[in-house]
């Protein structure tokens, strides 16, 4: 009988095949979900009938369009399901495995059809025979059904036809993981096989929603007409009324349009039961997955982006999280582990939690691992909280698995999950209780195209900063600027809640001249931002307001600029650039490397801001020898020209904030001299201002070298009065000054009226 393929050629057929593939895909998803329901409730006739219908319609369409292999395979599947339906055969685990195998074969043939237009050259006769055998009895127990790899794994390694779709067709959607090489791969990989490009390019929209959108567009047209008339007759009241209407319609249209892009989480979670089932069998565990809030909706592109991370987390939960049934029973838990996936809306974000009731993660174990790898020093490890330690699992190259299993622990780990989630503006967090289980909590924004942003100005231009990265706004005024900001050779830091916060000047990053540099009296605006673990302050000229903005991508040629994420059009029609907070944070590292500053703390995670109580400022004395002062002794750092120094009664002084500030050249004082430095007008000095009981003293140095942490292994005895101890800092023997002692001695000498110490 001539089939359609011979009767029709070209476009008509192409359209038919396209529809056919989309239908198959949808059918398969249903098939898979129903099948797992069947495994739980093997007697349900309803579920069997539903599966039967799916397979039947695939078979019918395959015959119609002339795909004989598909028709043959589905025919046997249908026969088997028929037996189940009329009750002449029972649903055993072997039957379920056989049917799962059927799904894999159908999917493979579909991919082949989509890629090449043919069904591929693979021989399915063995599998067909297996399905036939299943219609009468379970296979011999010598091959336990659960361990039988589904026949999608062909025994012959040389395949003439690659199963993965050809790159030309899926080019716009490169698979996140390399397309699974089918021969040695476990069957658990099959659900993550590259999704069909065809089914991803279409979307089903509720007709009622579409009607509503059409109505809104109608209203929009009417409003436009009204406004056009307004501009002719110049009727102010009418103009206002129609503006308001326009505002309303736009908002509704925006919401409605968003809804068409929304998909329930179910679309991605429906594949998880299969993943859990296959994986549990493979690891010799028992596991089930419970899902809550599957109807929670998420933007298409986002749900695509979190598909792999979620599958990865679920795989991890089964592989690392859950214990073996024996261990579980020994601990008084039911043998079957439970993975729970919970999705819900909260505060304009979608939260997705994946939790297991397994082992939990032991922070002590993480600590050991981190120490082994040299990521932490003993001291740091001791001060870290369990929560901070748990965060270690997101570090690249971290794996707690004792042995690498086939499924996880292959190097790509939670760090990839984290960066994927963060790349879409989300966050991921872990919490765990030993013996009770682990929970991964993801926060995903509803959409990427419209975001809340803070608008700031720098150099007369406006910039948008995504709200998700925003921590706090700080405004320093007058004296507080000096107290709050310390400038270290172009690397500014600020005191922020007892810690030092690295500062980035937006003007400098973007190479723009400031509107007017803040002077002492002006305020400094700092936007505290969080990128990854790094918290930093962005100095901007002005903070404007918060707004909802529409994100537009930048031209391809501008994408290499790491500190820009996109652009948006503001209310006045002008364009504002959107800052990429992660890119700015990178710039922070760059600054450090370039100036060689702050390198002393490279041995610890960049996320750790300097603990002020341990920080030291490294200075060069007027005799060029290095000194260090604990930062807590430093109230201000100032730079002064030698010409501003005055001499009264043989003592150097300078005018400072309406007072006279006594100066002390430390290097000179230590060697019983008055002054070592050059007093020519062109020389500049760095003055460390120390304040005690309302009295200030200015310690004079040549320049500031660096800021370092007081984790000094080599300590020597104090060499002379005024020195706490000597230490090797950045490879040089450095005297750490005892400022209170210097101050006291200096005051004593004042009273004694002499220069002597």
Which member of 314, 318, 470, 563 binds another protein (CB under 8 A)? 563
Which member of 434, 554, 642, 755 binds another protein (CB under 8 A)? 554
Site string for another protein, 658-697 (x = CB under 8 A): ----------------------------------------
Bridge partners, 615 (sequence order): 709
Segment 414-433, which members bind another protein (CB under 8 A)? none
**What minimum distance in Å lies between the beta carbon of 576 and another protein?**
7
Q: Does 556 bind another protein (CB under 8 A)?
A: yes
- In the block, tokens 């995504």 appear at 466
SS3 at position 464: strand
Query: Nearest Cα to 299, choosing from 226, 216, 427, 203?
Result: 203
| Residue 599 per-residue DSSP state | G
**What minimum distance in Å lies between the beta carbon of 548 and another protein?**
16
Which member of 12, 217, 248, 575 binds another protein (CB under 8 A)? 575
Bridge partners, 706 (sequence order): 618
Q: Which is nearer to another protein, 387 or 542 (CB)?
A: 542
Only one of the segments 487-495, 540-548, 566-574, 620-628 lies at the binding site for another protein (rule: CB under 8 A); that segment is 566-574
Task: Please answer whether residues 622 and 667 qualify as being in contact, where contact means their C-beta atoms are separated by less than 8 angstroms.
Answer: yes
Distance of alpha carbon 484 from alpha carbon 482, whole angstroms: 5
Which stretches within 342-498 are classed as H helix?
363-372, 378-383, 386-390, 414-423, 479-484
Helices (H) and strands (E) in the chain, counts: 22, 30
**What minimum distance in Å lies between the beta carbon of 580 and another protein?**
11
Q: Which is nearer to another protein, 385 or 511 (CB)?
A: 511
Which stretches within 234-341 are classed as H helix?
236-261, 266-269, 272-283, 300-316, 325-330
**What minimum distance in Å lies between the beta carbon of 505 and another protein?**
13
Q: Does 558 bind another protein (CB under 8 A)?
A: yes
Which member of 569, 641, 733, 752 binds another protein (CB under 8 A)? 569
Only one of the segments 233-241, 305-313, 335-343, 547-555 lies at the binding site for another protein (rule: CB under 8 A); that segment is 547-555
Only one of the segments 360-368, 518-526, 555-563, 655-663 lies at the binding site for another protein (rule: CB under 8 A); that segment is 555-563
Q: Which is nearer to another protein, 533 or 595 (CB)?
A: 595
Query: Nearest Cα to 105, choosing from 200, 179, 24?
Result: 24
Which member of 142, 560, 672, 682 binds another protein (CB under 8 A)? 560
**What minimum distance in Å lies between the beta carbon of 522 and another protein?**
23
Q: Which is nearer to another protein, 231 or 521 (CB)?
A: 231
Q: How many residues bind another protein (CB under 8 A)?
A: 21
Q: Which is nearer to another protein, 29 or 461 (CB)?
A: 461
**What minimum distance in Å lies between the beta carbon of 556 and another protein?**
6
Q: Which is nearer to another protein, 569 or 714 (CB)?
A: 569
Tell me, rounded to whole angstroms, the distance of Cα 98 from its chain centroid. Answer: 39
Tokens of 236: 């102010």
**What minimum distance in Å lies between the beta carbon of 466 and another protein?**
17
SS3 at position 475: strand
- In the block, tokens 């206002």 appear at 240
Distance of alpha carbon 49 from alpha carbon 43, whole angstroms: 11
- Counted residue by residue, the chain has a size of 757
**What minimum distance in Å lies between the beta carbon of 515 and another protein?**
14
Q: Where are the beta strands (DSSP E) in 575-669?
A: 575-579, 615-620, 626-630, 636-641, 645-648, 651-656, 659-665
Q: Does 600 bind another protein (CB under 8 A)?
A: no
**What minimum distance in Å lies between the beta carbon of 467 and another protein?**
21
Tokens of 27: 């059918």
Q: Does 511 bind another protein (CB under 8 A)?
A: yes
SS3 at position 267: helix
Only one of the segments 5-13, 367-375, 477-485, 554-562 lies at the binding site for another protein (rule: CB under 8 A); that segment is 554-562
Q: Which is nearer to another protein, 58 or 578 (CB)?
A: 578
Q: Which is nearer to another protein, 557 or 682 (CB)?
A: 557
**β-strand pairing of 732-737 with 626-630:** parallel
Q: Does 573 bind another protein (CB under 8 A)?
A: yes
Tokens of 508: 């400098």
Q: Does 577 bind another protein (CB under 8 A)?
A: yes
Q: Does 567 bind another protein (CB under 8 A)?
A: yes
Distance of alpha carbon 150 from alpha carbon 279, whole angstroms: 13
Which member of 35, 564, 600, 666 binds another protein (CB under 8 A)? 564
Q: Does 483 bind another protein (CB under 8 A)?
A: no
Distance of alpha carbon 268 from alpha carbon 603, whole angstroms: 41
Distance of alpha carbon 28 from alpha carbon 31, whole angstroms: 5
Q: Which is nearer to another protein, 56 or 462 (CB)?
A: 462
Distance of alpha carbon 205 from alpha carbon 276, whole angstroms: 30
**What minimum distance in Å lies between the beta carbon of 584 and another protein?**
12
Only one of the segments 58-66, 91-99, 311-319, 574-582 lies at the binding site for another protein (rule: CB under 8 A); that segment is 574-582
**What minimum distance in Å lies between the beta carbon of 568 and another protein?**
8
Which member of 555, 648, 649, 756 binds another protein (CB under 8 A)? 555
Segment 437-476, which members bind another protein (CB under 8 A)? 461
| Residue 320 per-residue DSSP state | I
Q: Does 576 bind another protein (CB under 8 A)?
A: yes
Q: What are phi and psi of 390, to 5 degrees?
A: -60, -35
Tokens of 53: 């219908």
**What minimum distance in Å lies between the beta carbon of 555 and another protein?**
4
Q: Does 290 bind another protein (CB under 8 A)?
A: no
Which member of 510, 610, 631, 705 binds another protein (CB under 8 A)? 510
| CA distance to 300, 668, 687, per residue, from 675 (Å) | 71, 5, 14
Distance of alpha carbon 757 from alpha carbon 714, whole angstroms: 28
Only one of the segments 159-167, 255-263, 406-414, 569-577 lies at the binding site for another protein (rule: CB under 8 A); that segment is 569-577
Task: Please answer whether residues 228 and 239 qualify as being in contact, where contact means their C-beta atoms are separated by less than 8 angstroms.
Answer: no
Contacting residues for 656 by C-beta, under 8 A, at least 6 apart: 638, 689, 696, 698
| CA distance to 173, 252, 267, 370, per residue, from 264 (Å) | 21, 20, 6, 39
Question: Could you count the other beta carbons within 10 Å of the beta carbon of residue 693?
Answer: 5
Q: What are phi and psi of 49, to 5 degrees?
A: -65, -40
Q: Does 224 bind another protein (CB under 8 A)?
A: no
Q: Does 552 bind another protein (CB under 8 A)?
A: yes
Only one of the segments 140-148, 316-324, 557-565, 715-723 lies at the binding site for another protein (rule: CB under 8 A); that segment is 557-565
Only one of the segments 38-46, 211-219, 386-394, 551-559 lies at the binding site for another protein (rule: CB under 8 A); that segment is 551-559
Summarize as ranges the residues that interact with another protein (CB under 8 A).
Answer: 461, 510-512, 552, 554-558, 560-561, 563-564, 567, 569, 573-577
């Amino acid at each position: 009988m001539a089939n359609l393929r011979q009767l029709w050629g070209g476009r008509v057929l192409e359209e038919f095949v396209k529809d056919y593939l989309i239908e198959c895909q949808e059918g398969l998803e249903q098939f898979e979900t129903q099948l797992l329901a069947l495994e739980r409730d093997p007697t349900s006739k309803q579920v069997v009938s539903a599966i039967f219908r799916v397979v039947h319609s695939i078979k019918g369409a395959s015959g119609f369009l002339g795909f004989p292999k598909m028709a043959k395979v589905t025919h046997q599947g249908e026969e088997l399901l028929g037996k189940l339906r009329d009750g002449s055969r029972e649903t055993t685990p072997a039957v379920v495995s056989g049917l799962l195998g059927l799904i894999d074969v159908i999917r493979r043939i579909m991919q082949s059809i989509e890629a090449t237009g043919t069904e591929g050259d693979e021989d399915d006769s063995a599998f067909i025979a297996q399905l036939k055998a299943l219609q009468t009895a379970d296979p011999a127990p010598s091959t336990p059904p659960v361990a039988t790899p589904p026949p999608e794994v062909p025994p012959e390694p040389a395949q003439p036809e690659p199963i993965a779709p050809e790159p030309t067709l899926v080019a716009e959607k490169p698979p996140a993981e390399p397309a699974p090489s089918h021969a040695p791969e476990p069957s658990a990989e099959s659900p993550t096989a590259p999704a069909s490009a065809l089914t991803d390019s279409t979307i089903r929209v509720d007709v009622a929603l579409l009607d509503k959108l059409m109505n809104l567009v109608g209203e929009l047209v009417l409003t436009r007409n009204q406004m056009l008339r307004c501009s002719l007759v110049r009727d102010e009241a009418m103009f206002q009324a129609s503006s308001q209407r326009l505002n309303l319609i736009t908002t509704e249209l925006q919401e409605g349009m968003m809804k068409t892009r929304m998909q329930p989480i179910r679309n991605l979670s429906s594949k998880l039961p299969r993943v859990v089932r296959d994986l549990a069998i493979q690891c010799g565990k028992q596991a089930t997955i419970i899902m809550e809030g599957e109807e929670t909706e998420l933007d298409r592109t986002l749900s695509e982006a979190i598909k792999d991370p979620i599958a990865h987390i679920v795989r991890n939960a089964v592989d690392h999280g859950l214990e073996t049934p024996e261990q579980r029973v020994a601990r008084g838990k039911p043998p079957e582990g439970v993975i729970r996936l919970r999705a819900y809306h909260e505060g304009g974000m979608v939260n997705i939690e994946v939790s297991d009731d397994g082992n939990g993660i032991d922070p002590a174990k993480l600590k050991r691992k981190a120490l082994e790898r040299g990521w932490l020093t003993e001291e740091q490890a001791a001060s870290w909280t369990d929560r901070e330690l748990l965060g270690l699992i997101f570090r690249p190259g971290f794996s707690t698995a004792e042995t690498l299993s086939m499924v996880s622990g292959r190097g790509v780990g939670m760090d990839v999950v984290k960066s994927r989630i963060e790349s879409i503006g989300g966050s991921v967090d872990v919490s765990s209780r030993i013996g009770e289980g682990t929970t991964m909590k993801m926060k995903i924004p509803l959409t990427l195209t419209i975001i809340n942003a803070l608008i700031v100005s720098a150099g007369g231009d406006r910039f948008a900063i995504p709200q998700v990265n925003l921590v706090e706004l700080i405004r320093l005024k007058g004296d507080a600027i000096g107290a709050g900001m310390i400038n270290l050779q172009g690397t500014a830091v600020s005191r922020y809640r007892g810690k030092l916060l690295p500062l980035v000047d937006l003007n400098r990053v973007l190479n723009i001249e400031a509107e007017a540099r803040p002077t002492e009296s002006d305020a400094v605006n700092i936007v505290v931002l969080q990128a990854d673990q790094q918290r930093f302050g962005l100095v901007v000229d002005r903070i404007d307001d918060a707004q909802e903005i529409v994100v537009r991508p930048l031209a391809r040629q501008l994408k290499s600029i790491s500190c820009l994420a996109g652009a948006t059009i503001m209310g006045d029609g002008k364009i504002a650039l959107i800052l990429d907070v992660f890119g700015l944070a990178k710039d922070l590292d760059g600054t450090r490397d370039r100036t060689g500053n702050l390198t002393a703390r490279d041995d610890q995670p960049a996320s750790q801001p300097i603990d002020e109580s341990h920080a030291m400022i490294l200075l060069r004395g007027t005799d060029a020898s290095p000194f260090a002062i604990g930062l807590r002794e430093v109230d201000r750092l100032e730079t002064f020209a030698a010409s501003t120094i005055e001499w009264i009664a043989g003592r150097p002084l300078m005018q400072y904030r309406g007072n006279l500030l006594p100066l002390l050249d430390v290097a000179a004082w230590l060697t019983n001299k008055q002054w070592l430095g050059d007093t020519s007008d062109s020389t500049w000095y760095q003055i460390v201002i120390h304040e005690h009981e309302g009295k200030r003293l200015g310690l004079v140095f040549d320049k500031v070298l660096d800021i370092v942490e007081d984790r000094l292994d080599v300590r020597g005895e104090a060499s002379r009065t005024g020195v706490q101890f000597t230490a090797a800092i950045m490879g040089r023997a450095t005297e750490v000054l005892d400022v209170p002692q210097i101050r006291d001695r200096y005051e004593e000498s004042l009273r004694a009226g002499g220069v002597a110490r």
